[in-house]
Structure 1
Amino acid sequence: MQYEEIKKQIEDYKNDGKSLFTTSSFQSHSLVLLHILSRIDPSIPVVFINTGYHFPETVEFRDRVTDSFGLKNLIDLRPDTPKFMQKDAFGRLLFTSDPDHCCYLNKTQPVDTLLSKHDVWINGVRADQSATRKAMKTEQPAPHGTVRFHPMLDWTAKMIYEYQKQYNLPKHPLESNGYLSIGCEPCTRKVDPEMIEREARWYGMNKTECGLHTDLVEQK
């Protein structure tokens, strides 16, 4: 979808009385959707899923981008379960032994609660990012009767780059150090030349998604 199509769809949602929000990891490629939304309606809530494991550079970049884009409603979403309770039977933090449950507690569960309070989740997934995302539709049902709206689904990496260049969007400070897909610090590594972008996440594990785009979506 292009800018005018995204704008029209968002305006249609609002005219129907729908409550909207978006989530953002504040990676470089995520800024395109944020910039588009800032042009349409900078008051749309922007949710940063603060797991407590982010790189300090990500948190600083989040604040800088929020100010630069004039975003008026940043929500710092934190998990309900404190870190001292996020341990396995041997006392190890879950990201070392059960990353799926770690993601559930720190990402999926908080967003699931948020979905129960909104009608539309504007989500920046792209079909070229993974097989899971390639199978998605522009609109899909989510838990609690919420709709997932994927306006960037048909965008390619080239289109993202061209938009970044056109509007001179900033880049995440860790990108120049070889980090192209940036999530929680314990589960993110630099991209090797032979790797595709998202292989740097949960490297060496049988895991490619955190649960937001598998557990919080209903297949038609």
Structure 2
Amino acid sequence: MTITEIKDYLDRYEEEGKQMFTTSSFQTHSLVLLHIISRVKPEIPVYFINTGYHFPETLRFRDLITEQFGLKLIDLHTSTPRNMQCGSDGRLLFTSDPDYCCFLNKTMPLEGVLQSYDVWINGVRRDQSAVRKAMKTEQPAPHGTVRFHPMLDWNARQIFRYRKEYDLPEHTLDAQGYMSIGCEPCTRRIDPDMQEREARWYGLNKTECGLHTDLVSK
């Protein structure tokens, strides 16, 4: 989808009176969508799901990009306090039940946001995982919200070219071998033979946090 096509979609949603928002993990590859939104619809709120487990470098990068792009940032937190995020053995859930940890810290907070909006602009790409490969440009989400995936057919090379064209900054952890950056306890450096998202929840049969599996209407 071209930048003009993205703008046309957003204009149509606006003409129809739709309330829109986007989310971002503030990784390097996330910047293209944020930059486009900042140029065509800067009033659209950007939600950052702050799990409390992010790398400090990600938080600094978020603040840098928010100021540089002039974003309308909203920090989103879970309502479940950290001392209630433990398993029966007393260990924090990311060590024993990462699916439930993701549900409490990411999926559940964002599901509440969906109730206040009509369109969720989401930067997923087909080349990132099997789950995302099967997605469509527009898909229904809970509470009558529409998921809009304008970056779906972009690939890593196109992302790189756009970043170079507009001289967009890079997350500092990229240079240290991190390609897919999420919560610090569940992210590792990528090995040469690994795909991008295999560096997340390494060693587990898990490549998604639930935002793109649970928050899609079946």
TM-score range for the pair, normalised by the shorter chain length: over 0.9
String of CA shifts for 1:98-117, please: whole Å, max 9, x gaps. Answer: 00000000000000000011
Question: 1:70 deviation in Å?
Answer: 1.3
Aligned-partner Cα distance in 2 for 1:101–1:191: 24
1:83-128 CA distance string (max 9 Å, x none): 0000001100000000000000000000000001100000000001
Paired residue for 1:92? 91
Q: Deviations over 1:193-218 (max 9, x none)?
A: 11111100000011110000000012
Q: Match for residue 63 of structure 1? A: 63
Structure 2 partner of 1:33? 33
Q: CA deviation at 1:43?
A: 1.3
Letter in 1 for 2:214: D
For 1:167, the equivalent position in structure 2 comes to 166
Aligned residues: 218
- Name the amino acid aligned to 1:51: T
Which stretches in structure 1 are left out of the alignment for 5+ residues? Answer: none
The answer to whether 1:128 aligns with 2:122 is no
1:12-40 alpha-carbon deviations (Å, 9 max, x no partner):
10111100000000000000000000000
**C-alpha distance in structure 1 between counterparts of 2:28 and 2:13, whole Å:** 27
Which residue is equivalent to 1:212? 211
Q: Secondary structure at the match of 1:80?
A: coil
Q: TM-score, normalised by structure 1?
A: 0.98
CA distance in 1, matches of 2:160, 2:63: 22
Letter in structure 1 aligned against 2:87: D
C-alpha distance in structure 2 between counterparts of 1:180 and 1:100, whole Å? 21
CA-to-aligned-CA distance 1:54-81 (integer Å, 9 cap, x gap):
000000000000100111x100000010
Q: Do residues 15 (structure 1) and 15 (structure 2) align? A: yes
| Cα distance in structure 2, aligned partners of 1:91 and 1:116 | 33
Q: Distance in 2 between matches of 1:218 and 1:105?
A: 19
Which residue does 1:179 correspond to in 2?
A: 178
* 2:187 alignment partner AA: T
Whether 1:195 aligns to 2:194 is yes
Structure-2 separation of matches of 1:22 and 1:88: 32
CA distance in 2, matches of 1:121, 1:56: 27
- Could you give the per-residue CA deviations for residues 135-188 of structure 1, whole angstroms, max 9, x where no partner exists? 000000000000000000000111101101100110001100001100000000
User: Could you say what secondary structure the match of 2:126 adopts?
Assistant: coil
SS in 2 for 1:75: strand
What CA distance in whole angstroms lies between the structure 1 residues aligned with 2:139 and 2:3? Answer: 20
- Where do 4+ consecutive residues of structure 1 move more than 6 Å? none
- The one-letter code matched in structure 2 to 1:69 is F
User: Unpaired segments of 5 or more residues in structure 2?
Assistant: none
- Paired residue type of 1:124: G
- TM-score normalised by length of structure 2: 0.99
Report SS of the residue matched to 1:47.
strand
Measure, in 1, the Cα distance between the counterparts of 2:42 and 2:67: 11
Matched AA of 1:56:
P
